[in-house]
Amino acid sequence: MLIKTLRAAWLALGLAMMMLGSPPAHAAADTAICYNCPPEWADWGTQLQAIAADIGVHVPPDSKNSGQSLSALSAERHNPMADVVYYGVTFGIQAAEQGLVQPYKPAHWDAIPDGMKDPEGKWFAVHSGTLGFMVNVDALHGVPVPQSWRDLLKPEYRTMVGYLDPGSAFVGYVAAVAVNRALGGTLDDFTPAIEWFQKLQANSPIVPRQTAYARVLSGEIPILLDYDFNAYRARYQDHTNVRFVIPQEGTISVPYVMSLVADDPNPTAARNVLDYVLSDKGQAIWADAYLRPVRANAISQRALRRFLPASDYARADTVDYAKMAAAQRGFAKRYAAEVQ
């Protein structure tokens, strides 16, 4: 009964959104539930508006993070509420392994590079980002902009550093993998990352569980371990004095992926949404928000000119994402036991 009530509530919200902006006459109005599609993250706000306007599918915003989305899919396994899900690649791999998603090869499937998609279509990349420091320069009040992972441990950055919970949010786990790799660790040994997080606790870091973009813009969190696309958006769209720093010791780049939920309630609308985010327009929306679209030719020269130089991005590596997924639970347990 609770599941049906919640599903009805989602549909009611979708209908309310339809009242605000009716779909074109040639498109059939419909609703698809997407887990982890918050308007303030990765410019999902523009993406959801475009989906409604262009194909008549209304997708209510959802503020779960990747881990919460995976947990919800697992809890709803026998009575799914969601149609599609967006999450970090390691969570997509786990969802496929747990049988929570089903194969679907959307339009432009062949344009997705190998390694950025499950061969059966259980998950596929839509864009990627590079992890670094999103710094509100004004909120530092004269303290130098940090340039390295070790800088963040200095006492002058006390109460200034934030990172999302690495046991739940994908970006938090990416930060852990990045600092671990930069300081000599491997996906088999997270000791360097654990020791770094332990030392960081002396600086009283801020550890939110949800997207913290607005808190950086307000200056509440002067330095956030986050992606390049959020920093560029803050600087060029929200006109905040924000800089993006790729730490001197190195970092990693990772894809975000989407999946079709197993036994989803509204498969036609769901497939249309997945086709759309890989379309020319869907990919261009993310490119204009400074994400690296999985279809590389979708990014404009204007957007590229606002990225840091290629010499800085040379410090960003990729990793074995399947192995990264396999190591995630073990790291989360260590973090909970040794850091929190």
Assign 104 to helix, strand or coil: coil
* pLDDT per residue of the chain (340 residues) written in tens, 0 to 9: 434 344 444 444 443 443 333 333 333 349 999 999 999 888 999 999 999 999 999 999 999 999 999 999 999 999 999 999 999 999 999 999 999 999 999 999 999 998 899 999 999 999 999 999 999 999 999 999 999 999 999 999 999 999 999 988 899 999 999 999 999 999 999 999 999 999 999 999 999 877 799 999 999 999 999 999 999 999 999 999 999 999 999 999 999 999 999 999 999 999 999 999 999 999 999 999 899 999 988 887 888 888 999 999 999 999 999 999 999 999 999 999 999 8
* Cβ-Cβ contacts under 8 Å for 165 (sequence gap 6 or more): 172, 207, 208, 209
For residue 250, what are its two tokens?
Answer: 């190195």
Residues with Cβ within 8 Å of 310's Cβ and at least 6 positions away in sequence, in order, are: none
Beta strands in the chain (DSSP E): 30-31, 34-35, 57-58, 84-88, 101-102, 124-136, 161-162, 223-227, 242-245, 251-261, 292-293, 316-317
Q: Is the dihedral of CA 254, 46, 226, 326 positive or negative?
A: negative
Cβ proximity of 149 and 183 under 8 Å: yes
The answer to whether 136 and 222 are in contact (CB under 8 A) is: yes
